Structure 1
Amino acid sequence: MSRVLIAGESWMTESTHVKGVDSFTVHSYVEGVGPLRDALEAAGHTVTHLPAHLVPARFPGDAEALSAYDLVVLSDIGANSIQLDPAVLERSERGEDRLANLAGWVAEGGALMMIGGYLSFTGFQAKAAFRQTPIAPALPVELLPDDDRVELPAGADPAVLDAGHPALGGAGGQWPHLLGYNRVAARDGAATLATINGDPLVVVGEHGRGRTAVFTSDCSPHWAPPSFCEQWSGYGRLFDGLVRWLAN
């Protein structure tokens, strides 16, 4: 079984309550990693979750630190959070380029998966900002220069193109609808296993001696409704298949 690091999939919210002339602000912390973490642990994998607010200080900085894992999953966490260690951002000290080191680790036999969200790929208002980073060439897809989100409020059903590919874990047939995704273009030589709305949904490929994959929609709400990430038996098979294929 594989050792998986999931970076991201958490957020903090701030809401202001106005009652007449008085107001107060409430803050809350939310994790969206539950469905993915639970599915992978149920399949026997060891999962370490690095919440978004801890990524800048604790993301593995070099190949030695990354070697504690078989697979790194980036899910709804922007490039800045990974590249800008507090020493660099706050004290102007030189440090590791963690995305460059991640790309190098993959090329030497590691594995990487990016899952969609507002801060994945290019992202909301291009704020995910992975397109011009060293990790972009390692992905099996090309990223758009502008906001790449496609919202599907009426829902759209994915189309499986290669149900027999081991990366899908046997999750063939009809998949539940999804409510959005990040638009990308598959690279030459990569394999597009499933699409949504005519665009890539699941793409796998190789980078050097390592393997990479993308799932361009979400692994939890809002783009992945409960019918997909909680009620569909294929959810666990899909992500278990991706992890097993990536970790080889």
Structure 2
Amino acid sequence: MSGLRVLFAGESWIKHTIHMKGFDQFHNTEYEEGAGEFLAALDREGFRVTYVRGHEISARFPRSAAELDEFDVVVLSDIGSNSFLLPDETFLRSERSANRLAVLRDWTRAGGGLVMIGGYMSFTGIEGKARFGMTPLADVLPVRMLDHDDRIEESAGVKADFDEPAHPVLGGTPAEWPPLLGYNRVVAKPDATTVARAGDDPLLVVGPAGEGRSVAFASDLAPHWAPPEFVGWPHYQRLWASILGWAAGA
């Protein structure tokens, strides 16, 4: 799978903090990215990754199938649907613009690979703000999404159980993940395959999308839901390489 062309979007944020010190206060702003180890793992695999950060989506995320054809698989992680649905030209100037989630849906159906990774702004998300279930992308994801806040917080840790431990999406990695600290609750579609679950809730679901393939990984690739034990797991790199490779049909 070396040379797999990956478009990765999300996993960045800006924090604006108010510090209160007695009578006085001051503000500071920080920019952070959460996918450092994930991206490093893909780099070690020899994947060719284009990273579109959250604040860059309006300008840089593809608007056409021709642009998406530069990639084998598209990965969305912890970035809500509004970032795709409200480009500057529409939100600021009321100009018509391509619905990029519809473009991504159609590209996936035509043979592309799509992966959505969980987080506070994935699937339905915190307070329902990610809202992907109301977008065209819902047509090709292998899961149905809730119509309300879908987060399951498990501070004591949750163990993954495997319905399909030999599925090729796992790439031969052990069917024994380090505990996760939470996930998005989703429901597998009838034509999808639940590979791993937390109790009755799917964690890793794969399925067909027309001529393409889609994957839902309902937990995170980084803290806080993916603790250091998961990110530092010896099979972390191989697991993600396999997930992306399976989605791409590689």
Q: TM-score, normalised by structure 2?
A: 0.97
The runs of at least 4 aligned residues of structure 1 exceeding 6 Å deviation read none
1:202 corresponds to which of 164, 185, 204:
204
Q: Offset of 1:20 from its aligned partner?
A: 2.2
Partner in structure 2 of residue 145 of structure 1: 147
Deviations 1:190-244 (A, max 9, x none): 1111111321011101111010001000000000001001x21121111111111
Q: Offset of 1:57 from its aligned partner?
A: 2.0
- State the alpha-carbon separation in 2 of the partners of residues 145 and 173 from structure 1: 31
Partner in structure 1 of residue 18 of structure 2: 16
165-174 or 105-114, larger mean C-alpha shift: 165-174
Partner in structure 2 of residue 164 of structure 1: 166
Root-mean-square deviation over aligned CA pairs? 0.9
- State the alpha-carbon separation in 1 of the partners of residues 20 and 203 from structure 2: 41
* Residue type at the aligned position of 1:133: T
Counterpart check, 1:69 vs 2:66: no
- State the alpha-carbon separation in 1 of the partners of residues 81 and 45 from structure 2: 29
* Residue type at the aligned position of 2:219: S
SS in structure 1 opposite 2:136?
A: coil
Q: Offset of 1:128 from its aligned partner?
A: 0.1
- State the alpha-carbon separation in 2 of the partners of residues 219 and 165 from structure 1: 20
- State the alpha-carbon separation in 1 of the partners of residues 245 and 153 from structure 2: 30
Partner in structure 2 of residue 44 of structure 1: 46
Partner in structure 1 of residue 29 of structure 2: 27
- State the alpha-carbon separation in 2 of the partners of residues 198 and 64 from structure 1: 39
Q: Offset of 1:142 from its aligned partner?
A: 0.4
**1:160 and 1:172 in contact (8 A); partners too:** no
- State the alpha-carbon separation in 2 of the partners of residues 160 and 4 from structure 1: 27
Partner in structure 1 of residue 60 of structure 2: 58
1:101-180 map, 5 Å:
101-180=103-182
- State the alpha-carbon separation in 1 of the partners of residues 37 and 63 from structure 2: 27
- State the alpha-carbon separation in 1 of the partners of residues 59 and 79 from structure 2: 14
Identity %: 49
- State the alpha-carbon separation in 1 of the partners of residues 76 and 225 from structure 2: 16
Q: Offset of 1:99 from its aligned partner?
A: 0.4
* Residue type at the aligned position of 1:119: M
Unmatched 5+ stretches in structure 1: none
Deviations 1:92-131 (A, max 9, x none): 0001010000000001111100000000000000000111
Partner in structure 1 of residue 241 of structure 2: 240
Unmatched 5+ stretches in structure 2: none
1:81 corresponds to which of 76, 80, 83:
83
163-172 or 202-211, larger mean C-alpha shift: 163-172
Q: TM-score, normalised by structure 1?
A: 0.97
Deviations 1:39-84 (A, max 9, x none): 1111121111111111122211110111111111000000010111
SS in structure 1 opposite 2:50?
A: strand
84-93 or 36-45, larger mean C-alpha shift: 36-45
- State the alpha-carbon separation in 1 of the partners of residues 55 and 34 from structure 2: 13
- State the alpha-carbon separation in 1 of the partners of residues 229 and 192 from structure 2: 29
- State the alpha-carbon separation in 1 of the partners of residues 175 and 215 from structure 2: 21
2:95 corresponds to which of 70, 82, 93:
93
